[in-house]
Chain A
Amino acid sequence: MDLHYTDKQNDFRAEVRSWMADNVPTSPLESFDTQEGFEAHRAWERKLATGNFGMVTWPKEFGGRACTLIEWLIFEEEYFRVGAPGRVNQNGIFLLGPTLMEYGTDEQKAKFIPRMASGDDIWAQAWSEPSAGSDMAAIRTKAIRDGDHYVINGQKTWSTRAAYADWCFGLFRTDPDSKRHRGLSFILLPLDLPGITIRPIPQLNGQTGFAEIFFDDVHVPVENCLAGEGEGWKVAMSTAGFERGLMLRSPARFQATAGRLVELCQQNEKRVSGHVRRKVLDAWMDATAYTLATYQTASRLIAGGKIGSEASLNKIFWSEMDRSMHRTALSILGAKADLMSHAAGADGVGNWLDGYMFSLAGPIYAGSNEIQRNIIAERLLGLPR
């Protein structure tokens, strides 16, 4: 065990810090769940790519820096320390990217990863269907082989970023006679193909972070299938591992929230009760614990380990921590907490309300926390199904 950064890691931190100081937008961008904000965030992704910061863990030929996961954590810390914009391409860089690295052919990597790193392709997810939410193996949308194409028919929903994204990845049933986990394939496709209809879904904050995707005889080349026909479930579980276990929610994000919450508490010291004060301490302690746990996971992966069902422990921890931190902030703000972020008198505190609404989704997306608790009980503890 050695809990010191190497000189190389410290140099890397200094380089990121200096680049961020020169390049991070001085005022916050509009939400990426609006058309204008989406394009502003794409421009930021392109800016990041000019510094080769699109995804630092990727090989240099794909636009990365061949960094270790520890350096990725350092990058994330510097990123959140200055409040840099949210990653509009998180589905791509944090979920599909690592999955492509593990399962993609050389051609697939060369085709998709550099454009992902550069912000040219922004990715949406296409997992859930109206009848396949927590029960993802109930997927019905078919992708039937016809020569060198799949013909897709059906419907996806809650597709994150699909309102404005360029491409999507998801699970489709390539064997129409198959049941449950078998006969599913992991397919990547552009969202402007003929036969695709996208219907944005207004969410809690009025914006369209997700959408429904309707497929009507959509033709997709067979080379867009990842890891072979029928292997979709295995690939999806790997993506879910990254999502729950490591990359989607890097610890620095929560440390930044906890830091702002401590400040908010200090500013309101006179009216904050002991109970609320303890909640603020919990925010700091939990964000710290999550950070340490992630350094442990990163160290283990660097040593050749794999992410397993313990990713479910992580997902529960960060999602419930995030909700609790924002709720605590709202309790400190009182009536001001309910002002819309752009409204008169909100003085910027509306960000906490936006954050709270977003945090309510955390225990649901990426596999609901009830499903995660089942996974822990059955696979880690060995309780009967």
Chain B
Amino acid sequence: MNFTFSEDQLEFKEAVKGFLAGECTPEHLRKMVESGEQFSHARWQQLAEMGLTGILVPEAQGGLGMTEIDFILLAEQCGYAALPEPLVETAAIAVPLLKAIGGQEKTLERVASGSLVVTVADRRDEVVTTPKTDLMVLTFDGQAFRATENTSNFITSESIDPLRPVSLTDYSGAVLMEGDGTQDIWEKHEERASLMAAAGLVGLSQRMVDMSVAYAQERHQFGKPIGSFQAIKHHLASTMVAIEFVRPVLYQAAYEVTAGHCAILHTSHAKLKASEAAMDAAEVAHQVHGAMGYTYEVDLHLWMKKSWVLTATAGDQIYHEDQIDNLVMTGALDVGPAATFS
């Protein structure tokens, strides 16, 4: 029993954090919003060169052959930076699905090299992330997995998150797999998608706290920084408590997904609590920023809107509450002490 990350995992996180701090700055995000851009090809190529698009792709297809637990801290950092490109969606959600479907070596190679973005239309949601670039969308209609690279017939929609291109889900495309086994593969996919969305929300929450701390140190009222007032301190401290107690749930969920166990209890717990922490963090950050938070003058809105979107993505709060209820309240689970680990 050792509930810590390895030195390598922590170093990888620091490297990605450092990269995103330099290459995915709020200034750049603001420029993208102003020019109506939603995807940076240059940044995607850099991510591919760091091995990030192929982190879960087998080494034989040019990837790093790593696992979900190796990616989870990176997914958090993508949230922290509000990375607009669907790296998590492609590298940690679509890639494992392609691997499970099997026979997708060519596609995996293209993902690892950075020449293909793949997103999955999650049946729990109505929309799919669709950057207008080299894109493949995977769908599952309950019977068959399909892939389409021609998304021009998709009905384009518009998200409150200005950096998230979306379309309505379209179940056309070539069949990759159907029949036996698809349901099991899909269920695992759903767990993984919930997990990765939860990680993004934890990162978003942390960034909103950090932004608020910075703002509360700068902004003076009554002759003092507003961050010296307990009313402000206690809001932010409570938010930190919520965030810190999502993290271990998230990491156990990542561990169980990686191990291939049924992880829905853990992934839904992580997603539900991460969503609530993020919604709270956004409200608190908004309160700390005062009227400035209600404008485009400060960057908070980009993180806040991404939090709203991720909260409702990969299963909304009602969906995840139902999953937990089904397991905890029905006697299906040992709910007392000594039953925490499988």
Contact = CB atoms under 8 A, between A and B. Distances in A.
Whether both chains belong to one complex is answered with yes
Interface string A348-374: 000000000000000000000010111
A295 interface: yes
B123 interface: no
A212 interface: no
B159 to A, nearest CB: 28
Interface string B244-260: 11111101100110000
Interface string B121-162: 000000000000000000000000000000000000000000
Interface stretch (B34-42, B167-175, B189-197, B329-337): B329-337
A214 B237 CA distance: 37
A384 B228 contact: yes
Interface in B220-236: 224-225, 227-228, 230, 232-234, 236
Contacts of A36: none
Interface extent on A, as a size class? 35 or more
Given A13-B338, A292-B252, A384-B228, A378 B269 contact: no
Nearest to A381: B213
Contacts of B230: 370, 373-374
A65 interface: no
A224 interface: no
B244 A310 contact: yes
B222 to A, nearest CB: 13
A68 to B, nearest CB: 9
A286 B272 CA distance: 12
Interface string B36-65: 000000000000000000000000000000
Interface in B1-16: 1-6
Interface stretch (B77-85, B97-105, B320-328): B320-328
A255 interface: yes
A343 interface: no
A285 interface: yes
22 contacts: A255-B335, A256-B337, A266-B331, A277-B329, A285-B269, A285-B273, A288-B249, A289-B248, A290-B245, A295-B340, A296-B3, A296-B251, A299-B4, A313-B244, A317-B244, A373-B230, A374-B230, A374-B237, A381-B209, A383-B217, A384-B225, A384-B228
Shortest beta-carbon contacts, A-B, top 7 = A377-B233, A259-B336, A292-B248, A373-B237, A252-B337, A376-B237, A383-B227
Given A265-B329, A317-B244, 18 more contacts: A3-B342, A9-B1, A255-B335, A262-B335, A285-B249, A285-B272, A289-B248, A292-B3, A292-B248, A292-B249, A302-B2, A303-B2, A313-B240, A316-B237, A381-B233, A383-B233, A384-B227, A385-B228
